Amino acid sequence: MSDSHDNGQTSQDHGHEHPKHELSFYAKRIYAIRDLLLEKGIITEKDIQCQIEYQEARSPANGAKLVARAWVDAAFKRRLLADPKAACAEMEIDATSINEFVVLENTEKVRHMVVCTLCSCYPRPILGRPPDWYKSFNYRQRAVNDPRAVMREFGLTLPDDVEVRVHDSTADIRYLVLPVRPKGTEGLSETVLATFVTRDSMIGVMDALPSAPPV
Just list the catalytic residues.
116, 119-121
Using CB under 8 A as the binding rule, whether residue 27 contacts other proteins is answered as no
User: In the window 96-155, what residues touch other proteins (CB under 8 A)?
Assistant: 99-105, 117-118, 144-148
Interface with other proteins (CB under 8 A), residue total 31
Using CB under 8 A as the binding rule, whether residue 90 contacts other proteins is answered as no
Using CB under 8 A as the binding rule, whether residue 94 contacts other proteins is answered as no
Strands 163-168 and 110-115: parallel
**31 or 122, CB closer to other proteins?**
122
Using CB under 8 A as the binding rule, whether residue 163 contacts other proteins is answered as yes
| Helices of type H across the chain | 11-14, 25-39, 45-57, 60-72, 74-82, 84-90, 124-127, 132-135, 137-145, 147-153, 190-194, 199-203
**CB within 8 Å of 206: residues ≥ 6 apart:** 151, 154, 155, 156, 198, 200
**49 or 107, CB closer to other proteins?**
107
Instruction: Please provide the DSSP assignment of 65-120 as one string.
Output: HHHHHHHH-HHHHHHHHH-HHHHHHHTT---TTSSEEEEEE--SSEEEEEE-SSS-
Instruction: Indicate which single residue of 65, 69, 124, 167 sits in contact with other proteins (rule: CB under 8 A).
Output: 167
Instruction: Indicate which single residue of 154, 168, 180, 185 sits in contact with other proteins (rule: CB under 8 A).
Output: 168
Rg (CA), the chain: 21
Q: Is 179 left (phi over 0), alpha (psi -120 to 50) or beta?
A: beta
**166 or 188, CB closer to other proteins?**
166
Interacting span for other proteins (CB under 8 A) from 40-48, 93-101, 129-137, 207-215: 93-101
Instruction: Indicate which single residue of 60, 63, 84, 123 sits in contact with other proteins (rule: CB under 8 A).
Output: 84
Report the interface residues with other proteins, using CB under 8 A.
Answer: 81-84, 99-105, 117-118, 144-148, 160-161, 163-173
